[in-house]
Amino acid sequence: MTVLSVNINKIALIRNSRGGDIPNVLTVALDSERFGAQGITVHPRPDARHIRYSDVHELRNAISTELNVEGYPSDEFCKLIYDVKPAQVTLVPDPPEALTSDAGWDTCTHFDFLQKHVAKFQEYGVRVSIFVDPDLKMIESAKNIGAERIELYTEQYARMYVTDKYNAIAPYVEASKHAASLGLQVNAGHDLSLENLAFFYQSLPVLHEVSIGHALVSDALYFGLEKTIQAYSACLI
C-alpha cells in the first residue's frame, strides 16, 4: 500500500499571513487523518515562514499517523529531530533562502556529511529518507550512506507529463526498480497532483509513500479538504 502523507506547510503559510491561529495547523492535521491521510508532512524553514518548530512539537504529540519532517540538516534542525523523534526525517538540500525544493542531493559529493547525520538520526530511532533525483548513481550512494529510503524528486515528471507522460515516467520506473534491488524503500513528492498522481502510482513497481501539499491544498479550496483527500487517496488504489 502506498501511504498518502499530506504536507500542511501551505496551511501554516495562510495562518502566518495574518497572524493569529486561523487556520489552525493542528486541527487541519487531525482532520486530514480523519479524512483518510496516513501521514502528515511538514518542512520547517529557518525563517519560520510557514511551519514553525513549535508546530512540529505540537503535531508530534497529537497526531496518530506518521509524522514526516523535511529539512536541511542544520544544527537547529538536527536538534529539533532529536527532540521530537518523528517517524521519518526527509533530508533535502535546500539552502535557507530557497522558496521550495528544486533539486535532489548530490549524494556522492555530500556523502560524508549525509552519512554523519543519517547515523545520528537513526540512533534516535528515526527513519531517514534522502531527497534525490531519479539518478541511479545518486540512489546507490544514498544506499551506501545508510538511508532506509529515498524520496524521488518528481518536478520533472510533473512538468513533462502534460506533453509526454511515457517519457516522463521512464526514469522514475528505472529508479524505483533500482532502489528496490538495493533494498531501499521509495517515496516521492513535489508537484504531484490529481492530474498526474494515478499514472505515477500505477507505473512504479515500488512506491511506499507520496507527500503532497501545494496541489492538494489548492484543490481543497474548490472541493473541500475531505473530498480532496479522498480523491488523492483514490489515485493510490
Question: Is there a contact between 24 and 15 (Cβ–Cβ < 8 Å)?
Answer: yes
Active-site option among 33, 50, 70, 208: 70
50 is catalytic: no
110 is catalytic: no
Active-site option among 117, 178, 190, 208: 190
Question: Is there a contact between 8 and 28 (Cβ–Cβ < 8 Å)?
Answer: yes
Q: In angstroms, rounded to a whole number, what is the distance separating the alpha carbons of residues 226 and 32?
A: 7
Q: What is the DSSP letter of 193?
A: -
Q: In angstroms, rounded to a whole number, what is the distance separating the alpha carbons of residues 133 and 221?
A: 30
57 is catalytic: no
Question: Is there a contact between 40 and 33 (Cβ–Cβ < 8 Å)?
Answer: yes
C-alpha cell at 64: 496518530
Catalytic residues: 43, 70, 190
